[in-house]
Chains A and B, each alone.
Chain A
Amino acid sequence: MKKTLVVVCSVLILAAVVLSACGAKTEKVTVATDATFPPFETVDEATKELTGFDVELMNAIAEKAGMEIEWVNTPFDSVVAGVSECQYDMAIAAITITEERQATMLFSDPYVDAGQIVVVRIDETAIAGKDDLSGKVVAAQLGTTGEIEAQAIEGVEYKPYDTYDLAMLDLINGQVDAVIADKPTADAFVGQYADKLMTVGDPFTEEKYGIAFCKDKADLQAKVNEALGTLVADGTVGGLITKWLAPVVAE
């Protein structure tokens, strides 16, 4: 009876270890992302493949650096946590390079500049920028720099959301007064809801997106940086920015 119990438990744990180890043997690089963040990463409706600015950039880098990518599509807080403890080799998910994150993971050279900006309803008159947010309900996505900035503003009632689309929907529905997001993200949503949302003020932070690496993968970081440099020089990155982040460039 006790034996059977022990056997069942060991089989379960062994199965978990063995099955998972199968994946680790191939010479693939696991790249994590959260495909609920257009235009940076999303799932193509027709092919159900990952697509977006980050995905195409990563694929181009992989081709240049001769790597085979195994994508992992998971919520953003899991992406960051997974990279910091080397569950994934690297992650490309519009991740802002911060000091706190650099303490637990490596970063590539920055590939996009994106400051935080305030998004409000189109009929909003009381908020003209970051400084008017005191006493207001402000939303951002869990684990993002938008969250850090929102919480840093004095007198703000901060409301976290799982994803930015939920935050934006609650903004439209009037349940929050403003959303703080990366400018490219904010512009993408304002583009989608041109009759309902607008950005106010200028970006109030200096932020750069980088590709994150597990801290044991310095060799991978060097390879990716080299490929990224080539892609910036030959205009590939510029082409991707025009293709995916057009509203950012147009302004």
Chain B
Amino acid sequence: MQKTEKDNPNYGFHERIKQTDQWWLLVAIVVLLVILLTTFKPDPYQRILNFVVDGIWVTLYTTVISFTLVLILGLFGGLGRTSRNPILHGIASVYVEVIRGIPLLVQLIIWYFAFPAMVKDLGKAWNIEALATYKANPIVMAILGMTICYAAYMSEVYRAGIESIPKGQMEAARSLGMNYFQAMVHVILPQAIRVILPPIGNEFVTLLKDSSLVSVVAVADLTRRGREFMAANFIPIQTWLMVALLYLVMTLIAARAVTWLEKHSRYER
């Protein structure tokens, strides 16, 4: 019997990679659009870009710092969710169920307004000067709020990844003399990470967009900058077109980066 190309288990996979790589074209189109607008209609587009550019930076670094912390905290959450220890499992489950059930906007407002008020009341009750005069730093609270919220989502992503690896692998690793953590670090997680790369990338893009919510807690991110510009100049269409394009550039590039990572990690398999 003659083997056709389609019998190759990798068939379709390489085609898919080729196809997804064409999405770079979309990135190029959006970037080109921004360049064209700012070049040929500098008023207002170059003005808007100049005004919101520090907001882009704020959006990027709050997102990247939060997401780095999310990857770490989420791993602990995921390990807790898959743990057979009832206490760890209980703590992780309560954390995930409670946090993912509260909107990020509400959580941010709690961290920035309710939490400092609580600290101050405690400081007054216990007569601790440092706590009684406590003032929340907007950026720190924004990063804290986003991290705690998204780590709950990420715990579930990690859990899905860990549970996707057959139980036999853990048993085999343990029978070779590895302890639970060695087996996790050397056998289970490296495989799980490859499985969950697409959802991780998805979480990053979602977080980047949701970071626009930090504009309510005194962080001058891209969205807040856009609102300030619109309020001063009354040109909503142009302002939000520019802001939307800038978000799109960031999210599309992030999505491409994840695809690239996926491609390279899959070849190692």
**Which chain B residues border A20 with CB–CB below 8 Å?**
116, 134-137, 140-141
* B119 sits at the interface (CB 8 A): yes
CB-CB nearest in chain B for A30: B135
* 16 pairs of residues in contact across A and B, judged by CB atoms under 8 Å: A8-B76, A12-B148, A16-B136, A16-B141, A19-B137, A22-B137, A23-B137, A24-B133, A45-B51, A45-B233, A75-B216, A78-B217, A82-B113, A85-B113, A86-B120, A165-B230
In the complex, residue of chain B having the shortest beta-carbon distance to the beta carbon of A165: B231
Q: Is the CB of B228 within 8 A of A35?
A: yes
B237: nearest chain-A partner, CB-CB = A169
A2 to B87, CA, bound (A): 9
Q: Is the CB of A15 within 8 A of B140?
A: yes
Asked if A5 and B135 sit within 8 Å, CB to CB, the answer is no
Contact B130 A21, beta carbon cutoff 8 Å = yes
**B31 contacts partner chain A, Cβ-Cβ < 8 Å:** no
Residues of chain A in range 1-54 having any CB-CB distance to chain B below 8 Å: 1-2, 4-5, 8, 12, 15-17, 19-24, 30, 32, 35-38, 42-43, 45, 48
Please report which residues of chain B, range 173-231, place their CB below 8 angstroms from some CB of chain A when the two chains form the complex: 215-218, 220, 224, 227-231
Q: Does B72 contact A (CB under 8 A)?
A: yes
Query: What is the count of residue pairs linking A and B with beta-carbon distances less than 8 angstroms?
Result: 115
Residues from 223 to 269 in B contacting A, C-beta threshold 8 Å: 224, 227-234, 236
Whether the pair A87, B144 counts as a contact (CB closer than 8 A) is no
User: Is the interface on chain A under 10, 10 to 19, 20 to 34, or 35 or more residues?
Assistant: 35 or more
Interchain CA distance A26-B264 in the complex, whole Å: 50
Closest to B180 in A: A1
Interface residue? B64 (CB, 8 A): no
Q: Which residues of A contact B (CB under 8 A)?
A: 1-2, 4-5, 8, 12, 15-17, 19-24, 30, 32, 35-38, 42-43, 45, 48, 72-75, 78, 81-82, 85-87, 162-163, 165, 169, 192-193
* Complex contact A17–B87 (CB within 8 A): no
B residues with a Cβ closer than 8 A to A are 47, 50-51, 54, 69, 72-73, 76, 79-80, 83, 85, 87-88, 91, 112-113, 116-117, 119-120, 130, 133-138, 140-141, 144, 147-148, 215-218, 220, 224, 227-234, 236
Interchain nearest-CB distance for B201 vs A (Å): 24
> What is the bound-complex CA distance between A36 and B70, given in angstroms?
33
Q: A20-B134, A72-B218, A165-B230 are in contact. Are A45 and B113 (CB under 8 A)?
A: no
Given contacts A16-B137, A43-B229, A165-B236, 7 further A-B contacts (CB under 8 A): A16-B144, A17-B119, A36-B227, A45-B51, A74-B138, A87-B116, A87-B136
Shortest beta-carbon distance from A114 to chain B in Å: 18
Give the chain A neighbours of B216 by CB distance below 8 A.
74-75, 78
- Main secondary structure, interface of B, reads helix
Which residues of A sit under 8 angstroms from B69, Cβ to Cβ? Answer: 12
Decide if B227 touches A73 in the complex (CB within 8 Å).
no
Once the chains bind, are B218 and A74 in contact (CB under 8 Å)? Answer: yes
Q: Which of A4, A17, A23, A193 has the largest count of B CB atoms less than 10 A from its CB?
A: A17
A111 to chain B, nearest CB (A): 22
* B230 & A2 in contact (Cβ 8 Å cutoff): no
> How far apart are B117's CB and chain A's nearest CB, in angstroms?
5
Asked if residues B88 and A2 are in contact (CB atoms below 8 Å), the reply is yes
CA distance A169 to B231 in the complex (A): 11
